[in-house]
Structure 1
């Protein structure tokens, strides 16, 4: 059992690969190769969506992690392909685009009523911060309740980023994708929407996520008195400490 677990490679973020495979390549295929002189609308849709779908499945199988958000991403791509191939009313695309981040946002809110809020799992965890050291300092200063309150606020802010994505996804889909599904124009508009969604939705969402982490970090610093270097997880900060 131990050998199997150790054989699973660590998942390292590869934002440029994610951007290329999930957004740039599919967008170019849908926008440039959907004409009858090239792949045609059906094959362009299948091949274009195969990139993010294949990449998502590869990540899930390769790293064997039950990532709720990654699973939703795979489902989302599959639904987009289904809407195009089955020539369902394009308005359903806007609903689907809004539904995925909305489901994630609701999951974040629901998780606040459990022992494992998603903010705690994603940001306040031993892989990122020295949680044991922080909790010990909070206990010594009698600030545990105040920190839990701030962690709850961070969870609400986190859910708010997905609400923002849901609203923007719906507006963007309704604004850009207006042609009947299954047509060349639909594919081109879908590619344009995918390309535009990154600067208009993904980047602002990332900025908000960074702001939430900054809020969480400032709360830790104020309530414990520790600097970032003092509470960074050994695995995350070990390399930097070794260099210094």
Structure 2
């Protein structure tokens, strides 16, 4: 390689780095703006996240959450604001990723890549809704069932969760379900890249069952409700992924047939 070739290859790399920096700056600005907005409404957002706890406890019981350090609730609001900011700013992040990658793709590849960017937040939102409306109330019912009223020979045992611990629990569940619900997107992308196929996924179904329950044990609290609630949707999503991969294979075969004819 001559010096002229080396010099010619530097300019495109520098241009890409400059563009990447601009995309990152725009993404960070979007996250910062969303962070400020979410921090302003942090208490309201937290009250919304407490609704599954209220549903599990029932209307007759007053909900009490505590914080045991002066700065605990403030840092909880910061975490909550960052959590909301990443969620709100995702459309901007996805658009910046697409605009950075799109120039290096062919026209048909752009059309194939764009649906995955749209499907990612939708699947994440479905996973978050499953946590909010189903999993979290069931989990809190399980934890509340361990309370003890007290009396003769019995101590009074009541659940008084800390604000940081409750927020940590529901955030972990939302992220865990949101990530697992990306399984069809990941496997379909791998199929388009030729790294897997429907027959291979069928052969590895038994391993998927084991991995699903291991992931559920690692990503969720150590209660059977949360773990089963994550493992079962993961297995259903795996089956949906096999159908999606089969559809991709048929589409590719049809496209190759058209090109050959």
TM-score, normalised with respect to structure 1: 0.34
Query: Per chain length, whose mean CA-contact separation is higher, i.e. which structure has more relative contact order (CA < 8 Å, sep 6+)?
Result: 1
Larger radius of gyration: 2
TM-score, normalised with respect to structure 2: 0.32
